[in-house]
Structure 1
């Protein structure tokens, strides 16, 4: 079933792609630059860069609201695979990765607190786990995801000793709609709120 949000997003995506005639959509990126004078008269720039699809999703969400999540990126890819929809499968995987990377709080930082919540299903009660993102002292480019409170039976399945992107696997397998990220005492991502919980 196609949602109105998808149709509107697709129109926005095509419009952005047409800014460069005969372009290859998979190779397009969008860059927004703010130029200003810093103290002392030195010119400075702030930039945002991302995919055309990611920008189209942001615009469509701002205009029409976010539709409910239909599952994690891997669940969506698996559903497309079962329907023999290769484009849908690849789109779900690439879109899931892009959705994480387009988050204003991305990437994770040392000190972030990450909670993943699973809703109750049939006879199974809801569960969740809380993790702390820490710098890996042996490998500065890697972050550790340390379980600090676990109510699920897997005992902190998302914990890692070191990973350059410690939330990627969690985001792709469980979905951003199950994840809450707290940074410096402020909730910067509240996935469960997107489900109307």
Structure 2
């Protein structure tokens, strides 16, 4: 990447919930179309990526929502979500889950993914956390490679419901 980034990152507020929900739904569809069933994608997004859900997370002091915006016009193009963990592994009070990290394909190759991950790590440390956890679809080799390049290691497995279908996920951890 040369020159100024085509994006900027900022902490999302409850007022940003519609923008975060829009990029959440679009990026989930873009990532999993052709991999997951369409009806499951629609159901999952309706349940888990609504403006109300993001408003609740943005207003929760135990969570952090970061919004990536295009530098020209501030359109939402990516986001991260840190929350208290809900994973089937032994947890401590200083664990936090990176529940979501997504960027639209127009930002791929710009360094946005690395910048969002670093921001999530910095936010987790700022919250006093010592371990960052995340779940990823086991067959999502692109995402798994990204996390492994960043130092994450597999610490468990889970089944994750998307719509009406259970998928096999891997649980990763990064000591902070």
What TM-score, normalized to structure 2?
0.27
> Relative contact order, CA 8 A, sep 6+: which one is greater?
2
Which structure has the larger Rg over C-alpha atoms? 1
